[in-house]
Every structure is written in C-alpha cells, then in structure tokens.
Amino acid sequence: MNGSDLGVAKSLQYQTGPNLQHRDTYPAYSARTSAVGSDGDDDRTEDGFAGSLTKQLAETAVGVREMSKQLGRARVQLHIQNVLIVTKARDNRLIKLTRELALYLMLKQRRDQRGLVVYVDNQLRHSKRFDAEGIQRDHPGLFDEGQLRYWTSRMCSRSPHLFDFVVTLGGDGTVLFTSWLFQRIVPPVLPFALGSLGFLTNFDFSDHQAVMDSALDNGIRVNLRMRFTCTVYRAVANEKGKTRKAVKKGETGEIIMKNIEKGGWEALEGGWTGGPVETFEVLNDLVVDRGPSPYVSLLELFGDEHHMTTVQADGLTVSTPTGSTAYSLSAGGSLVHPEIPALLITPICPHTLSFRPMLLPDSMELRICVPYNSRSTAWASFDGRGRVELQQGDHIKVTASKYPFPTVCADKQSTDWFHAISRTLKWNERERQKSF
C-alpha cells in the first residue's frame, strides 16, 4: 500500500497489528431502538428508551475515543520508494548534510529493491556545495537509474502523489514551509532538528542513519496534525457598480448590507455578500491585524453563522493546536495538546478587560469580517505567508481542513509534545523548594 496515494489517515484505517485492533463498526444509535419481549410485545418504557439511547451514545463516544488512542499508538508500515528532502533556505551549512543524506538513501541496500529515489531542491542542481557532478562521477549508476531528481514548488502542489515520504532539514520554519508546499495531500514528514527553536523537530541529525533505517524497515508512528482551510471572500458590487454601506447591526448580531442607491444584490453563499478568491491550508495560525494603520482593528466574529462578538483590538489569531505555541502563546493564549481537535481564538491587545482566549470545537465554521463602517482595512497572514489586505466588506472563512499534516513521532505523541515544551520553552522550570 502506498501511503502518499491513499493518505496516512486512510492507511491507518486499514492497518492491523499488535498495537492496533481494527474494529469494523462502533456502536451506533437509532431513534427506532426498542426492547422487545419474548412474546413480541414492546416492553420499552419512556425511561427505558431514554436510558438505552443514552447508553448507546456513551458507548459511541467511548468507541471514538478508543479509536483515537489506537491511532496514536499504531505503527504504520509504508512502502517508501520516493523521498523528498526539504532543506532550510539560505543556510549553506545544511547543503553538505543534504548531500550526505541523499547519498545514504540512494545507496541504501534493501531486499529485492534498488536504492531510494531522492528529490532535492532544484536550487541545488548547480550548487558547488551539493556537487551533483561529483556524485555522478563517483556513482554513475545512480544517474543511470534516475535516482537523483529535483523538485519544484509547482511539482509539490500539483503532483503530491509523486512522493512517499518527506524529510526536512531545518527548524520549525522549514516544517511550515513544507506545509505551504503541500496545500492538499501531504506525505508523512520526518523533521530533523537543524534550526533555531525546533519545537516541531524531534529528531537529531547525528542519528540520521538509524532514524531512517527504523522508519523504512520498522514503520512509523504518525501524528496527524490538524490544519485550517482559510478562504478569503471579497465584497461583490451590484450590477450598477454601486457600493454598499452597513446598516446598524440588528438584534441577532447579523451585519446587514444594503445599496446606497436602489438596486439589488445577490447573496452568494448563505446570505454573505462576497465571493471566494483565495484559499490557504494553514498549519500554525491565521493572523488578522491592523497592519500599518494607526487605528484599532474593527472586526466582526461569527461562529456557525451566529454573531459571537465585535473585536476591537490590534488583531486576532486563530490557531491550530500546533500553532498554540507560536503567536497565540505570546498573545496570552493557552498551550493546546496537538491531539485536541480545536480552534484557539486569541485577541491581540484587545481594548477591553473581558475578551479572553477561547477554545472552540473543530466542527465550527468561523468567519472574520471587516465591516463597512470600519475606519481602516485589515491585513491577514497565513502561517506568516501570503499576506493579503482585507477591504471593508471582505471576510475570511475558517474551517478544519480535510488534509491533515502527518509528522513522524520520535516516541509517543504526548511524550514528544511534553518533551518539546520543556526543551524549547523551559516550561515550568524553577528551583525546587527545599524541604524543612
């Protein structure tokens, strides 16, 4: 089974072994559930029906939690032939390490199989430090078999199925860049710690041969990190090209728009007067701020079409659990374990004493709107990239992505996470109090 073709989530569904007992079905509930006696009469009482339904709901919830635990413990054996290496940009010391890793993978002897096909950045094609000509001179067979190839960002976005496995050499920024390259399906990513902070990088490059051998021969444990799908909607003018203005907010909190002059406009999606223009897959966070404007940001926040609040602040971050240790943490947000499926909303310097960070379920659809009566525009960035300006009337829709970002675990998911926050953030470190 090819992990990149089916996706890690799908491959886990069919994986069996001592660490994962696959169950075909979990308890389901039905409004028609009843208890029938031996004589064929319906012995169900109203209390009995409610109790039975409650029991089945509880069993279903327990089954889902148990499946989640098993997924975290499962070791997935993938058929890996094509490996992509993503190297931190503008760090010349890593080019030689890239060459060393690529050679090891291409020359690795495997039972009844040739060495791996390795893709490196196209920028290294003519690099003197990488020295592709030297590799060809010393190992001409690798080029005869086409084992050394070069990737481009277009190749990653258009043909992710070409790659079975990804290895990153760098820090957290390199991992985020990899997420940016793969805006849809992502192969499993094994990150080596060669950057500054390294919260997401759990592997030491000095052990790269043993790490790669274990991944290729013994399988991997995968952490399916949640991502967001962020869609930018632009305000749409009416047929006459007239602009619109905001009407005073109604009791329901909905922002109602009308034309300055007579003439209708069409509600394009669920009553929202805007059309989608750009979509981004986000691993860390979406940040909406005031940009260069001297005015406080004015934003309207909706959850499942319900007006939640008006944001008057320097900005707002919407973070994944992975991104809870980034900008959100600096703005006062909580640390969130990566297995918790949630959206973390954290205001940036709110001009109020009561706007605290919130955790919302991943099933919720968020919309962040710039109202027409805002004094200024807003600016949005997606994992620190793709910064766009939001004009009055524009908004962003945020939903949980159906394309998670699979990273390889060095140990168990929770062990990796607690080790990372202790190692990088020095979490809760202080001198121990002396005993009496």
Residues 6+ apart with CB under 8 A from 341: 226, 321, 361, 362, 400
The rounded distance, in Å, linking the Cα atoms of 374 and 328 is 24
Is the pLDDT assigned to residue 44 strictly greater than 90?
Answer: no
DSSP string across 140-196: HHHHHTT-EEEE-HHHHHH-GGG-SEEEEEE-HHHHHHHHHH-SS----EEEEE-SS
Which residues of the chain form CATH 2.60.200.30? 228-400
Is the pLDDT assigned to residue 32 strictly greater than 90?
Answer: no
Which residues of the chain form CATH 3.40.50.10330? 82-225
Question: For 82-225, which CATH superfamily applies?
Answer: Probable inorganic polyphosphate/atp-NAD kinase; domain 1 (3.40.50.10330)
Q: Which residues are catalytic?
A: 172
CA distances from 168 to 1, 46, 48 (A): 23, 59, 56
Tell me the per-residue pLDDT of 116-140, one tens digit each, with 9 for 90 and over. Answer: 999 999 999 999 999 999 999 998 8
DSSP state letter for 340: S
* pLDDT band (50, 70, 90) for residue 72: low
DSSP state letter for 1: -
Tell me the per-residue pLDDT of 134-173, one tens digit each, with 9 for 90 and over. Answer: 999 998 888 877 899 999 999 999 999 999 999 999 999 9
Which phi and psi (to 5°) does residue 308 adopt? -85, -50
CB-based contact 8:224 (threshold 8 Å) = yes
Does the domain at residues 228-400 carry the CATH identifier 2.60.200.30? Answer: yes
Q: Which of 82, 323, 83, 98 is nearest to 194 (CA)?
A: 98
